[in-house]
Structure formats: structure tokens, C-alpha cells
Amino acid sequence: MSPVWHEWQDGGFTVAAAAGDIKIRHIQRNDQVSISLAEDIPPYKGIEVRSSATIEEGQGLETIRRIAIRYLGSARGLAYAKLFDGAHIQLIRVRPGTFRGWDFADEVELAEPT
């Protein structure tokens, strides 16, 4: 398990990784993956998606730019993406499979002072 930047596009999650990255090697060995998204403020809602992943070529640098801008803003995102100029980027695609959702609304309500 490792934290990754991602985007939701065309009905699935995309994660960009350098060719040969450990995530790529794991998926080549076993394509079963899970992605968890969780809020860090009450009521701590989240989802987990379990599915198979595919490795795709093409548009890697453009994908990194989009994702970096999403997380860092325009100027910092473009500067970060420049670090990958000339790199061989592969895209990990995860289309929805099994979903599990949660929230801790009941627990948060119980913990709040009255």
C-alpha cells in the first residue's frame, strides 16, 4: 500500500508512474488492486474500490501535468511535472469493480459534547 496522486477520468482512476516503478512491477505480477479515498475531517467518509488494473502507454506527461496541477496548483504543478520531462511514464488504469463505502457519522455524533 502506498499513497498516490490520482485522477478520475473516463470512468476509472488513473495513476501515473515511471516505467519500472514498484507499482508497475507488482501489477505486472498480479493485476488485482485496491484504491482507497478518505476524507480527513469528520465524519471521515471514504470509499474503497477493488478491481484489476491495466498498464497503458501514452499521454503520461500530460497526465502528470494535470494531476500535479490538481494537487499543487498551476505554477507549482507545472514545475513539478517538468521533473518528468523525458521520462518514460506508464499509466495505471483502474476501472470500478467492487465498492465499499464508510463514514463515522454515528461515532462523531456520539463524541461531540452536548
Does a structural domain hold residue 58? Answer: yes
pTM for the model stands at 0.84
* Residue-level pLDDT at 113: 60
What cell was used for 62? 500530460
For 11: left if phi > 0, alpha if psi spans -120 to 50, otherwise beta; the answer is left
Instruction: Give domain status of residue 2, yes or no.
Output: no
Structural domain includes residue 23 = yes
Least Cα distance to 64 among 32, 17, 19 occurs for: 17
CATH of the domain at 51: 2.30.110.10
At 50, phi and psi to the nearest 5?
-115, 135
Tens-place pLDDT, residues 57-106: 989 999 999 999 999 999 999 999 999 999 999 999 999 899 999 998 88
User: How far, CA to CA in Å, does 91 sit from each of 19, 58, 82, 100, 114?
Assistant: 9, 8, 17, 24, 49
97, part of any domain: yes
Length of the chain: 114
Indicate the number of domains in the chain.
1
Residue 70 counted as domain residue: yes
The C-alpha cell at 54 is 491495466
- pLDDT tens-digit series, residues 6-60: 999 999 999 999 998 999 999 999 999 999 999 989 889 999 999 999 999 989 9
Residue 47 lies in a domain: yes
Residues spanned by the domain of 47: 7-111
* 57: in domain: yes
Q: Is residue 1 part of a domain?
A: no
